[in-house]
Structure 1
């Protein structure tokens, strides 16, 4: 399984061709007959809610350099999604959380980045369950709490982010 359209067999190195199978056009190795399936890449993020504010990062890298998103990124091969969300939160913002304190918000398939598709698992937590001082990571221009009424003025890196933030606020409204 690969995330981008493959050109060569990961087993034997032969150049792949295309075949119709399982109702789809798929890449196949003519030498060893292996079908090389293409799958989305898993990611995870954590929305930190502090009353009427939410923690966001301004991206310093593409895609979306200069736009805003929830702190998150790709899962490592041995990580459950909540562990990855907690790790990415700390890497991008300096704010730490125990993965067990995270509440599942949603799972969405993001719009493709070229040939790459991503499934993002979103979590939320209230600020009081986190520790650490706010400090943007190496791939963030800024990390800050943004008031709910200021969110419509921001440009978001990914189309799912505003709805994920709304769902996170809804989890903690009226506590």
Structure 2
């Protein structure tokens, strides 16, 4: 199994061939005779919503690393081996914003597959949490140049840019607790 399309067998290094298997085009090693599965990378994110403001606001981060440097997203990232999705979301939130929540207060906002980038497919589980259940003040951490709460109206008036795939989740999170 690989996260990007493979040209060579990860076991023996032989150049892969293309076959049809299970009615789909797959890559296969002619030496090992194994199909090299190309699977999506699991990710998790969490939207912390501050409902005590005049207009609900969602904690977001400005990307400091590719892809999307300078664009705003919900805090999140890749799950690690053996890590539960909620634990990954909580870890990424703390790494990127300094804000912490317990995994058991997270509610599922949704799940989505992102369009592939350089052959890499990502599937993300999106969570939401109430700011009342969080501790810490937002500050930019790893992968972020800024961390702050945005209401949809304030974001729209700012001239800032959201990563397109994340903007729908941002807006859904802002109204989640209504």
- How many residues are matched? 172
C-alpha distance in 2, partners of 1:147/1:57?
Answer: 13
Aligned to 1:139: 143
**1:96 Cα deviation (Å)?**
0.6
| Cα deviation, residue 170, structure 1 | 2.8
| Equivalent residue, structure 2, for 1:108 | 112
Runs of 4+ in 1 over 6 A off after TM superposition: none
Partner of 1:42: 42
- Aligned counterpart for 1:129 among listed residues 116, 126, 133: 133
Which of 46, 51, 68 in structure 2 is aligned with 1:64? 68
Equivalent residues of 2:80, 2:88 under 8 A apart? yes
RMSD over aligned Cα atoms: 1.2
Unaligned runs of 5+ residues in structure 2 are none
Correspondence 1:163 to 2:162:
no
Identify the range of structure 1 (118-127 vs 128-137) with the bigger mean alpha-carbon deviation.
128-137
Q: What is the TM-score normalised by the length of structure 2? A: 0.91
Determine the C-alpha separation between the residues in 2 that align with 1:7 and 1:160. 29
- Name the residue aligned to 2:91: 87
Alignment-derived partner of residue 148 in structure 1: 152
What CA deviation, in whole Å up to 9, does each residue of 1:16-55 have, x standing for no partner?
A: 1111222222111010100001011111100010021110
Task: For residues 55-79 of structure 1, give each alpha carbon's deviation from its aligned partner in whole angstroms, at most 9, with x where no partner exists.
Answer: 0000001110000000000000111
Asked whether the equivalents of residues 151 and 174 of structure 2 are also in contact (C-alpha less than 8 Å), the reply is no
- Runs of 5+ consecutive residues of structure 1 not aligned to the other structure: none
Question: Per-residue deviation at 1:114?
Answer: 1.8
Report what 1:78 is aligned to: 82
1:169 & 1:133 partners in 2: Cα distance? 19
CA distance in 1, matches of 2:114, 2:161: 16
Could you tell me how far 1:90 is from its partner in structure 2?
A: 0.2
Q: What displacement does 1:150 show?
A: 1.9
57-66 vs 148-157, which moves further: 148-157
For residue 104 of structure 1, report the CA deviation from its aligned partner: 0.3
